Amino acid sequence: MKFRTLKAVRFATHTDKNLRRAIKNIFGFRPGNIYLYRLAFTHKSASQDTIKNLRVNNERLEFLGDAILDAVAADFLFRTFPARDEGFLTEMRSKLVSRAQLNKLSQRMGIDNLILLENSNSGVFRSFKGDAFEALIGAIYLDKGFTFTQKIILKKIIGHYIDMDELVTQEVNFKSKVIEWAQKEKKQSAFNVLEEIGTGYKKQYLVELVVEGQPLARGQDYSIKGAEQNASEKAWQKINGDSLEKA
């Protein structure tokens, strides 16, 4: 089985010296517990070691980092837009921490260069850059604490890489729009997983969006979230089309 990083093969072994230097170059600080950072860059496809029969990878850190990002983003937006309502703040948080946004940030900051993943069929791992980004935030939190991590997110990430004016005008994700529309129209909506296609890392999910008990659109992707977004985009086009026809 072959493994790779996107550009810098030397990081594939997660040499502590090189990894410390990379973190210092990206964020301006030196890691304390280097193991956390090595773990943050280990994709599930590259899991080799086990602890109590569990594969060791960055998924647990990703879960933690996701929660930290949400909390910091919510606090930042609450203070930045004191006159805007809950709907606007929810929309902005969704844009700020979306998978597409985190994938882009990972690439712009050079975080993607450090990710260890299986070389074969790596094209199916569409979200691995954003996943590693979240895992890295989780690692920083465990290593340095919440206050330090918050400063890194605000100053080194949002302050340096995010154009808030541009983000305000950016189209919100389609799933949020569909859910908001259904709530406004007092319609019951749900996403149902119809089928799991393939096995292992090639597995895809077929999801159907149902509104008032009637199927509205289907989407397929390598993650359930991605499939829901695909279905939502198709549904939003139908909703807008119906609105235009009635106008």
Q: What domains sit in the chain, N to C, each tagged with a CATH number? A: 3-169 (1.10.1520.10), 174-246 (3.30.160.20)
Burial class (CB in 10 A: 0-12, 13-18, 19+), 241: exposed
> Which DSSP letter does residue 32 get?
S
Which of 62, 91, 112, 134 is labelled catalytic? 134
Kindly report the number of other CB atoms within 10 A of residue 66's CB atom: 19
pLDDT at 162 over 60: yes
Nearest to 148 by CA among 16, 35, 61, 32: 32
pLDDT at 52 over 90: no
pLDDT at 153 over 90: yes
| CA–CA gap between residue 27 and residue 35 (Å, rounded) | 17
**Residue in the block written with tokens 């199916």:** 124
Contacts of 224 (CB under 8 A, 6+ apart): 193, 205, 207
Contacts of 197 (CB under 8 A, 6+ apart): 203, 204, 205, 206, 220
| CA–CA gap between residue 74 and residue 97 (Å, rounded) | 10
49 in catalytic set: no
Q: So what's the pLDDT on residue 74?
A: 93
Q: What is the mean pLDDT of residues 104-122?
A: 79
Pick 11 or 62 by higher pLDDT: 62
CB 126 within 8 A of CB 205: no
| CA–CA gap between residue 219 and residue 113 (Å, rounded) | 31
228 in catalytic set: no
The pTM of the full predicted model, rounded to 2 decimals, is 0.67
Nearest to 2 by CA among 112, 127, 131, 117: 117
